Amino acid sequence: MLGATVRVSKRGDSVVVCAPHYKYFFSKFEVIEPVGTCFYATNGFEKIEEFASCRQEPARHGHHRFGYGMCGFSAAVPNDGNERLYIGAPGAYYWQGTIFAQSVRNQTDRPNTHDGPAHHDNFNLGYSLAAGDFDGDGVEDAVAGVPRGNDLVGAVYIFNHKLISLKNLTDRNGQKGQFFGAAVAVTDLNNDGYDDIIVGSPFYTDYKTVMDVKTQEHKPRYDIGKVMVFFQGPDHDFPKWESLLGHTEWSRFGYSIAAAGDLNQDGYNDFIVGAPYDGDDRRGAVYVYHGAKSGIRKEPTQKIEARKINADLKAFGFSLAGGKDIDKNQYPDIAVGAYQSSHAVVFKTKPVITVTGSLTTSKDSINLEDKTCSTEFGMMACEHMRLCMRYEGKGQSPPDIDLKLLFQLDSKKTITPRAFFRRRDLNNKRNTKIHKKAASRDQPDIIEQILHLRKGHEYCETYDFYVSDTIRDKLNPIHIIANYSYEERTSGVSTTGYLEPALDTTVPLSFEVELPIDKNCGPDEKCIPDLQVHAVSSKKKFTIGAADQSLIVNVTVANHGEDSHESQFFITIPPGFEYGGVENYATQQPISCSPQNKAGKDEEYVFVCDIGNPLAGNSEAKFGFRLTGTKVDATDEAVEIKMSVNSTNEEAFGRDVDNELTVRVPVEIKAQLSLVGRSTPEQLDYSIRNRTPSDPIFDSEIGPVVSHLYQVINRGPSAISGASLDIIWPSFAENGKHLLYLIDEPQVNDADKVKCRVKQAQNINPDSLTISNEHIPTPSAIIYDDQIPVQHYEREEHDREMYDDYKLRRRRMRHVHAEHVGRSRKIRRSQTIKDQRRTRVIQAKDNMKQAVKMAKAAGKAIEYKGPLSRANIGCNKDNCTHIECDIRRLNEDEFVLVEIYARLAVNTLIDNNIYEADISSIGIAKISALPSVPRYNPPAQLVAVTTDVNPTDPEQAQRGVPWWLYLIAILIGLVILALLILCLWRCGFFKRHRPPTEQATYNTNAKNTDMYADSQVRFAHPHMYSEERHGVRV
């Protein structure tokens, strides 16, 4: 591997070339060992001498000494190379490594660093080498890389020219295996007269910079590489350092480092870093870094990629060299090795030109009302700017150049620029055209121009631009920038035969100027507004589900200070609401609003409204912001509407406390179901002597028709999107016989709003009788009033167990009804748990019975707050029938009707000796959801619909009364009458005292139509007679 290490003296008249894998046969011990060797050439390779520092006879062989030292793995030529060479042997002393200070005048004068303790084995001291003055004696010392030292983090050892240790350096934030010290270089980067050290860590892994988007965890970038720069101070210590991180994973940035000299002739030395596996194709790249007064420029000024040089290059940047001017153009050049493709590439440094200049405007500010310039779009305000440029160059710089100039008006407003060039003016300028990125071709804001400059001569040109008074941002100045660039020819050689120049990147590559806009803000041209926001809701309460789901926030924004530019009103749309528009009341200009962001579904987001640009001082804007409720959460006590105002110019300190406001609107729900029921007929008589056939064919043979009608009304004001009606129908008596025999499916008035199904479908006409058409569905709503508030029934405690059905109970006044049975929990193994469950079930049954009694006593629905679940209603084929009805959306005052038809089983009543019974079905209605409240759970409504049943006996009615009863009654009556007369006679009742009588005189003047009366009777005109008051006329 001759040439694996090549180092040149500073004068360039001597060079050392090494072959670290050179093997030597020790004849005494008959072993071959890789001792390595170097060749030192001077005087233009006229004299070449071999220095094999590790090849020492007779007893210095073996891996425990120098036998495996591989001398020449690294090397350095201190000063002018006329005294000693530094040669690294990382394999010596069990691979602890060592450094030789080989004299160029005496082969045997080769002192080296001593071996260390056993834990220093495999440190690889001498893996890399460089020379520099680190003790201030003027003689260059040695700095050696120890990449496996310091607990595998790596280190750099500094020795003086006598190989006495001066200092050790390491990465304080290092990681095991980063190979700190794999490459080392020395140069004065900040021109302070002290040599600085550059150290590479090619296997460093970055665990912090990149964040994984999916996991939100730090994503490691393996073998990205790292370079550290240590700056030597006046006390020959290294108090300051800088870190440079690689750019691509697996690139091994810092595998090679070389001092490059002053590439741009700015007075500060530069350096280059190799990353042999950089790039998407991993073929390598080289980065150029410039020195500076503060140390280094942390961003690379140039990146040289293998794919742009030659398609065959691989491991480009594996080795580097620099600091030598090959083409004598007064600029140092660099060389890059690509060992996997057996190539070495030499890059000649271009001469650097420095461009200076200025960009100014004719006025300090622009007045948009001063419309003195004519354009295709009318009169506008305009301004003139002047650009002046010149360039200088060192070495073989060209006498004249062409620069590409890119003008951009209002560069900080790239989407809607406020200034533009006039096309007619551009047509009059040479080598000028509209740039492809201009916002408009008619009003271009970006132009490009080719300027021809002569070295050392200043060139100036004037440009006009225009600004409309309709722009939005009148507060911020118009920023103008002129970027320049130099585009070299394809050949890379100028017309003079020299290399094309490169622009000096240490100076700005652009000229900039800002032009303020005149404002009505007093002599200081600084507007200080004083905004205040006030708002009130159009509703005191927001009712969920009501017909009108809108909510208007009436807003007043007042400005008590100077003009407020780009005044904006921000309002947070609360969850469950949507933007419904803006109503302008009193504003200087129409209010327009747009969403600032949309976080996600059912989340709050912000709308921003433009309320004035400017909003004049001592003025106000009044408008209404409309919100529409869609899915308002019923669990919230109130809706909080947050709003604020601001502008682009700041208010005085402490005056912005009234710029924010929160309006709270209470939320309420007023969705109430009304449940009423009616029996047709309400009372039914049947003959106990008239039994029906035991094997009927027609349903009419069972008994009379009975229908129970249920009406569910939404009393509002909120609409409901779902409700349930559960009807418990007494199909059977307690002995299992038919009671109310179902003859048809439940009838509904609107199939689109309500759908019913019989859970025990086998209970509909179970005997398959022929059904007559006697039952006709009720066409409309129940006519009697249901506006009386329902009674409340609330249980103190209730379990999820439901209730057994009510059987037909025998008594003189019978109450027959059915209820539901629950089986929601599995029976526990423990008998104690079984007892507790049985107790709860009994208690629940009693509570349900009490609720039914109260409903029957009240004659209308009551609120039932006990547990209720369809799954727990336990009707079976032998006790009751469960009818489930699902009700869809009902607006306020809308209703649905459900009517159930059955035949009263007369034989069952006769067989059970039931007299004066009432038979009840139970209806339970409950709201299941509101349009915006899916989990709304109010108390259910419970009503009992009762049919009174009275028995009749025709034989008892036809049987006569015996004749002797009549005779006895007459005799008793006569005796009572005789006794009464006797009593009256004894009391003198029949003796009358008459008053004196007089002869009445007839009045001849009285007319027949006149009314008259005597002392006994009063008469009236016939037309005054009334049957209501006087009775039926005889």
- The answer to whether residues 758 and 879 belong to one domain is yes
CATH number for the domain spanning 598: value is 2.60.40.1510
pLDDT value at residue 673: 87
pLDDT value at residue 509: 93
Identify the residue with better confidence: 43 or 467: 467
Asked which of 907, 938, 955 is the last residue of a domain, the reply is 955
Range of the domain at 615: 531-669
CATH number for the domain spanning 416: value is 2.60.40.1460
The CA-CA-CA angle for residues 794, 800, 805, to 5°, reads 80
* CA-closest candidate to residue 729, choices 911, 612, 875, 540: 875
CB neighbours (10 Å) of residue 1014?
8
Residue 788 lies in a domain: yes
Q: Which segments of 225-373 does DSSP mark as H helices, in order? A: 306-309
Asked which of 955, 972, 1000 is the last residue of a domain, the reply is 955
| Residues 6+ away with beta carbon under 8 Å from 938 | 671, 672, 926, 927
Residue 1003 lies in a domain: no
How far is it, in rounded angstroms, from Cα 820 to Cα 928?
20
- The answer to whether 942 touches 922, Cβ cutoff 8 Å, is yes
- The answer to whether residues 906 and 934 belong to one domain is yes
Range of 210-219, 281-290, 763-772, 946-955 with top mean pLDDT: 281-290
- The answer to whether 602 touches 648, Cβ cutoff 8 Å, is no
Residue 67 gets which letter from DSSP? T
pLDDT value at residue 1028: 60
Residue 982 lies in a domain: no
Helix, strand or coil for residue 713?
strand
Residue 793 has pLDDT above 50, yes or no: no
Question: What are residue 172's DSSP bridge partners?
Answer: none
Residue 989 lies in a domain: no
- The answer to whether residues 325 and 190 belong to one domain is yes
- The answer to whether 269 touches 254, Cβ cutoff 8 Å, is no
pLDDT value at residue 813: 34
Residue 961 lies in a domain: no
Provide the pLDDT confidence category of residue 794 given band limits of 50, 70 and 90.
Answer: very low
Q: Tens digits of per-residue pLDDT, 426-435?
A: 999 999 999 9
What is the number of domains present in the chain?
4
- The answer to whether residues 331 and 380 belong to one domain is no
Q: Tens digits of per-residue pLDDT, 810-837?
A: 333 333 333 333 333 343 445 666 676 6
Q: Tens digits of per-residue pLDDT, 694-749?
A: 888 888 888 899 999 999 999 878 888 889 999 999 998 888 888 999 999 999 99
Q: Tens digits of per-residue pLDDT, 961-1013?
A: 678 888 899 999 999 999 998 898 888 777 766 666 655 555 555 555 444 44
- The answer to whether residues 460 and 561 belong to one domain is no
Render 254-283 in DSSP notation, one character per residue: TSEEEEEE-SS-SSS-EEEEEETT-TTTT-
Residue 113 has pLDDT above 70, yes or no: yes
- The answer to whether 582 touches 592, Cβ cutoff 8 Å, is yes
For residue 790 the two structure tokens come to 């329902």
Question: What are residue 678's DSSP bridge partners?
Answer: 709
pTM confidence score: 0.56
* CA-closest candidate to residue 255, choices 212, 220, 285: 285
pLDDT value at residue 911: 82
SS3 track for 404-427: EEEEECCCCCCCCCCEECCHHHHH
- The answer to whether 919 touches 652, Cβ cutoff 8 Å, is no
CATH number for the domain spanning 824: value is 2.60.40.1530
- The answer to whether residues 391 and 245 belong to one domain is no
- The answer to whether residues 68 and 148 belong to one domain is yes
- The answer to whether residues 41 and 65 belong to one domain is yes
pLDDT value at residue 546: 76
How far is it, in rounded angstroms, from Cα 993 to Cα 1005?
35
Query: Where would I find the beta strands (DSSP E) of 784-887?
Result: 791-793, 814-817, 862-864, 881-887
pLDDT value at residue 2: 87
Residue 190 has pLDDT above 90, yes or no: yes
Residue 1017 lies in a domain: no
- The answer to whether residues 35 and 50 belong to one domain is yes
Q: Tens digits of per-residue pLDDT, 487-521?
A: 776 555 555 567 889 999 888 999 999 999 888 77
- The answer to whether residues 479 and 603 belong to one domain is no
CATH number for the domain spanning 153: value is 2.130.10.130
- The answer to whether residues 657 and 718 belong to one domain is no
**Residue 59 C-alpha from the chain's centroid:** 75
Residue 937 has pLDDT above 80, yes or no: no
pLDDT value at residue 632: 81
Residue 796 lies in a domain: yes
Asked which of 311, 332, 347 is the last residue of a domain, the reply is 347
Q: Which segments of 459-591 does DSSP mark as H helices, in order? A: none
In degrees and rounded to multiples of 5, residue 925 shows phi and psi of -115, 140
Residue 445 has pLDDT above 60, yes or no: yes
- The answer to whether residues 501 and 557 belong to one domain is no
Residue 962 lies in a domain: no
